[in-house]
């Protein structure tokens, strides 16, 4: 599938599934070897994919103004993203060209970046502008000692970074929506460590088969168990999680049915990013591998400015509700990771209800094969 359905078509498909007790099904059952969640060489290969793939680094709203910057590790590499005076977003390897110290950390706003070790200074384009006691470096070519750039492109409110382009990997992100509403504003960020492989964390976002069992007092009273619409474009996917409130649209003419307030869209931006949407708000969630059994989860949350002013629908209440569901998912993710040590499974089986997970694994395997062929 190359185009996503209009909202009214999704709503109508959901109502049809409700009436027939069905859900979208994938074309096959998938078996993923458990060793792919534990083996260091497999993790190294996945990190190589992330470095070769246009991978979401942050939302554009994280660096909104000239001088705004964000520094973090991506696929094990320190990366600095900054908005230039010309409004263009750029990304660099976050390492001084003198002795390699990181020139920025965290997020903020700056006119220049000075290395904390010897104060070599760089401007917003990455150019080397200042070297204390420069006479100690005779013949230094400043033009050849700027911060090392990495490929960077903005699309759909997301900043994508490609660290190590590979002949076996598409050089640009697939055209399509990201789930980020351009009218929304950034209202917060969070950062946590989950003691589970990054793929286990991703899988928890990509199916509704677990809604009743895992979220019996949070999502399940408002949503359906094992009822999803699943769409694909490129290596990406969109999973629809309908709310029971969608029943109110039964008497609405089909083409007037809407998604707002009736369902959550979960956008998977390959390989390790998701964007879930909720009434009046959304998030961009990066699941960054931090070892074979550990994931750093970074979340940026956005909201509709009008919703922030509406006392009848406080955003904070909705965020608390979602946070409770996230804690439930985290507990299960970490339980799965502990279970890997039991030796009970040599492979995990993903059924026909879990097609978006199969799509993720299928594309990971394809990228691994393509990069291996290109290297060979």
- The pLDDT of residue 374: 66
- The pLDDT of residue 322: 82
Q: Are 193 and 295 in contact (CB under 8 A)?
A: yes
- Per-residue CA distances from 358 to 207, 297, 322, 355, 363 (Å): 10, 22, 25, 5, 9
- The pLDDT of residue 169: 81
- The pLDDT of residue 254: 96
Within the chain, all domains assigned CATH 3.90.380.10 are found at 7-52+174-375
CB-hemisphere CA count at 13 Å for 329? 22
Q: Are 121 and 112 in contact (CB under 8 A)?
A: yes
Q: What are phi and psi of 285, to 5 degrees?
A: -120, 120
Q: Which tokens go with 356?
A: 């978006």
Q: Which tokens go with 170?
A: 């598409």
- The pLDDT of residue 319: 65
- Which DSSP string do the residues of 79-122 spell out, in sequence order? EEEEE-TTS-EEEEES--TTT---S--EEEE-S-EE-TTT--EE
User: Which residues on adjacent β-strands are paired with residue 285?
Assistant: 274, 299
CATH topology of domain 55-162: Rieske Iron-sulfur Protein (2.102.10)
Residue by residue, pLDDT tens for the chain (376 residues) are: 557 999 999 999 999 999 999 999 999 999 999 999 999 999 999 999 999 999 999 999 999 999 999 999 999 999 999 999 999 999 999 999 999 999 999 999 999 999 999 999 999 999 999 999 999 999 999 999 999 999 999 999 999 999 999 887 887 888 889 999 999 999 999 999 999 999 999 999 999 999 999 999 999 999 999 999 999 999 999 999 999 999 999 999 999 999 999 999 999 999 999 999 998 899 999 999 999 999 999 999 999 998 787 665 555 666 677 888 899 999 999 999 999 999 999 999 999 999 999 999 999 999 999 988 666 5
- The pLDDT of residue 376: 53
Secondary element (H or E) of residue 334: helix 315-340
- Characterize 47-63 residue by residue with b for buried, 16 or more Cβ atoms within 10 angstroms of its Cβ, and e for exposed: bbbbbbbbbbbbbbbbb
What is the pTM (predicted TM-score) of this model? 0.95
Please state whether the peptide bond connecting residue 349 to the residue before it is cis, i.e. omega within 30 degrees of 0. Answer: no
Residue for token pair 């390699």: 100
Spatial separation of the C-alpha atoms in residues 270 and 302, rounded to whole Å: 21
Within the chain, all domains assigned CATH 2.102.10.10 are found at 55-162
Residue for token pair 């049809």: 16
Q: Which tokens go with 342?
A: 């039991």
Class of domain 7-52+174-375: alpha beta
Task: For the beta carbon of residue 221, count every other beta carbon within 10 angstroms.
Answer: 10
CB-hemisphere CA count at 13 Å for 376? 6
């Amino acid at each position: 599938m190359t185009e996503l359905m209009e909202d009214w078509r999704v709503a109508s498909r959901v109502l049809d599934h409700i009436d027939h007790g069905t859900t979208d099904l994938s074309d096959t059952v998938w078996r993923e070897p458990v060793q792919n969640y534990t083996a260091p060489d497999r993790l190294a290969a996945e990190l190589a994919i992330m470095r070769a793939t246009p991978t979401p680094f942050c939302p554009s709203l994280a660096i909104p103004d000239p001088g705004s910057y964000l520094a973090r590790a991506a696929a094990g590499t320190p990366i600095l993203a900054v908005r230039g005076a010309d409004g263009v977003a750029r990304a660099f390897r976050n390492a001084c060209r003198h002795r390699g110290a990181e020139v920025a950390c965290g997020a903020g706003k700056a006119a220049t970046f000075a290395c904390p070790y010897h104060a070599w200074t760089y401007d917003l384009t990455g150019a080397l502008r200042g070297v204390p006691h420069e006479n100690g470096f005779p013949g230094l070519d400043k033009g050849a000692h700027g911060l090392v750039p990495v490929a960077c492109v903005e699309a759909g409110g997301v900043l994508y970074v490609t660290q190590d382009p590979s002949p076996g990997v598409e050089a640009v992100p697939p055209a399509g929506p990201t789930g980020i509403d351009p009218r929304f504003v950034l209202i917060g960020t969070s950062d946590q460590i989950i003691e589970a492989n990054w793929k286990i964390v991703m899988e928890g976002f990509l199916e509704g088969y677990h809604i009743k069992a895992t979220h019996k007092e949070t999502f399940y009273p408002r949503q359906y168990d094992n009822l999803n619409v699943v769409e694909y474009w490129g290596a990406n996917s969109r999973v629809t999680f309908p709310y029971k409130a969608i029943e109110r649209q039964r008497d609405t003419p089909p083409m007037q049915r809407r998604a707002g307030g009736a369902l959550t869209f979960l956008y998977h931006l390959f390989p390790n990013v998701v964007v879930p949407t909720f009434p009046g708000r959304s998030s961009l969630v990066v699941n960054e591998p931090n070892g074979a059994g550990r994931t750093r989860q970074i979340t940026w949350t956005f909201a509709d400015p009008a919703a922030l002013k509406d006392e009848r629908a406080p955003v904070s209440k909705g965020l608390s509700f979602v946070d409770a569901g996230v804690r439930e998912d985290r507990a299960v993710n970490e339980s799965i990771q502990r279970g890997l040590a039991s030796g009970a499974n040599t492979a995990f089986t993903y059924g026909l209800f879990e097609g978006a997970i199969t799509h993720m694994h299928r594309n990971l395997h394809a990228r691994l094969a393509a990069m291996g062929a290109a290297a060979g």
